[in-house]
Each structure stands twice: as structure tokens, then as C-alpha cells.
Amino acid sequence: MHFTKMHGLGNDYIYIDGFEQTVDDPAALAAAISDRHFGVGSDGLILILPSRTADVRMRMFNADGSEAQMCGNGLRCLAKYAWEHERAAGGPCRQSPGNNLLGRAAPRADSCREIRVETGRGVLTAYLAIEQGRVHQVGLDMGEPILLPTDIPVRVTGQQAVGIPLDVADRHLLLTAVSMGNPHAIFFCPDVDQIDLEHIGPPLENHPLFPQRTNVHFVQPLAQDEVRMRTWERGSGITLACGTGAAAVCVAGVLASKTGRGLLAHLPGGDLRLCWDEQDNHVYLVGPAVAVFEGDWPG
């Protein structure tokens, strides 16, 4: 089984080209190949597949084998692979908030290509900044945030889950919950370095409030347009970055009156630029995508 390892800000995944290969049991493969001691080592497995509704399709599995609906860092890398390996030609980028954000993040790009990717949360658009025939930055239209608690899902009443008191692991927290196709629990704090994420992450991920478990993010506002954040990812544990999480943080900052609609998010693996557009209500994200190496997995 031939694979490619890629990462977005250190959030790393193993990619299998489903145009040429078939994976009979992706959940089992994800758990085995993601193991950092006995496997290749990654935060999960992503299958690159043909699509009937878009240029290409993504299926994403966490390191524990559970399937997730979406992954922003994973999607950026998939878009890079799909274009560079001629799995998706796409077309010229149209004028959009995502394209504008990409242009500011990658001003030296030779051209911009736009491809559509089928994901667990529908068809999303990726904007590719191409320099000397390679994709270096990718912008994503992450779609509209899901705010209704029953749709996130989170077991709270009301139209939004903002500032919900929650006591976990001897800490009194205020929860803001957002879904970007997968559930996110956001907690604002004075200093993310003071959070024992390895200790508090598991009980929050598996808290009874979240019937499908949740991704967990602690966020330190630095300014109206800048934050630091750390992530405990559902099914994978501590990760260096989370694209859908950063998008959820961008939304949560506005809902909780902590930040504005444009945001620079500093994650342990690097930076992402985001905006929650007032016109179309979509969240846009820009960041790098990097290929690490290729190999062959037995079996």
C-alpha cells in the first residue's frame, strides 16, 4: 500500500491515493499506520477518492480509527496532493473572501487554482496558491458555522452555546461550542501554557454534554485580531494544529465578544489566518500544506 505523509502546521496525516488503490478496512488501517511507535506515525489517515459531485473526495479517519466529518489541515494537504498529482485540475480562482485572504497570505504566487472537495460536511472549495508549479499555501471556504446546540451537538438549551459553566478536573470553565462539520468546545483563558491539556483533554472530549465527543481548544486572546490556542483533538489527543478548530475559535471569539471577525491564530505548529465573513456567513482559512515523504505499508 503506497502512501504519502503530509502535514499542515504539524497536524500530520497519512494519505492513500484511492484513484489507484483500494482500502478494505480504513478504520483498522488508520489505527495501525498512525501509531507513532509501531506504525508510520500520524494524527490519522485520509483517503483521496473520486467524486461524483466535486473534483475529488476526502474521507478522514482519526488515529483511533474513528471517522470524522472534516479536517481543515488535512483538507489543505489533500488539495495540494490532488492538484500536483493531477487528480483535480480545478479552474481559475473566482473573486471571493477566501481568494482575497489567500492573496494577502501568498502575494508571490504565480497563479491561483480553485478545486471543489467532497467532505463529510458537504462540498467545500479550496484555493491553491501555486509557485513554480507547486502548491505552497491553501485557502479554504469552510462554510457556515453550525451554532444550534442540537446540531453541534451539545446538550444545552437555547439557540447558541456561549458562556456555559462547566466544572471539569477541578477547573471552573466557560464553554462556547461551535461545529464546523465536527464539534468543537472552546474555552478562553489568560494563558494557554498553564493548561494541563493532557490531564483535562480526555474528560472534556468525553464529557456527557457531547454525545459525539468533541474537539477541545483552550484559547488565549492577545488582541482583537490575534490569539494563541492549544488543541486536544477528538480521537487523536494533543495535536500541533487543528484547522476546523481554528475556524471554530474565530467564530467563538465573536460570539463571546473576545475577538473580531478577522483573526491570526498562533498554534503550536504555526499560524493560520482566518475570517468569518459578514456577507455570506462563511469562515475562510489560509495556511500551508507540506509533503513530508512517501513509502509503502505492508499488507
Q: Where are the domains of the chain?
A: 2-143+288-296, 161-286
Q: Which residues pair with 58 in a beta bridge?
A: 48
Residues of the chain where predicted confidence (pLDDT) is lower than 50: none
Report the pLDDT value the prediction gives residue 108, as an integer from 0 to 100.
Answer: 75
Report the pLDDT value the prediction gives residue 110, as an integer from 0 to 100.
Answer: 83
Report the pLDDT value the prediction gives residue 262, as an integer from 0 to 100.
Answer: 96
Q: In the numeric block, which cell numbers belong to residue 217?
A: 481548544
Report the pLDDT value the prediction gives residue 105, as an integer from 0 to 100.
Answer: 76
Which residue in the list 77, 112, 189, 242 is annotated as catalytic? 242
Q: How many CB atoms lie within 10 A of CB 230?
A: 24
Two domains, one topology: 2-143+288-296 and 161-286: yes
Neighbouring C-alpha atoms within 13 Å toward the C-beta of 108: 6
User: What's the topology of domain 161-286?
Assistant: Diaminopimelate Epimerase; Chain A, domain 1 (3.10.310)
Based on the residue annotation, tell me whether 275 is a catalytic residue of this protein: no
Which residue in the list 71, 93, 112, 189 is annotated as catalytic? 71
Which top CATH class is 2-143+288-296?
alpha beta
Q: Nearest 5 degrees, angle CA 284-CA 286-CA 291? A: 135
Based on the residue annotation, tell me whether 242 is a catalytic residue of this protein: yes
Report the pLDDT value the prediction gives residue 79, as an integer from 0 to 100.
Answer: 97
3-state DSSP assignment of residue 226: strand
CB 84 within 8 A of CB 134: yes
Q: How many CB atoms lie within 10 A of CB 169?
A: 12
CA gap 215, 234 in Å, rounded: 5
Q: Nearest 5 degrees, angle CA 66-CA 86-CA 54? A: 55
> What predicted TM-score, i.e. pTM, was given to this entire model?
0.91
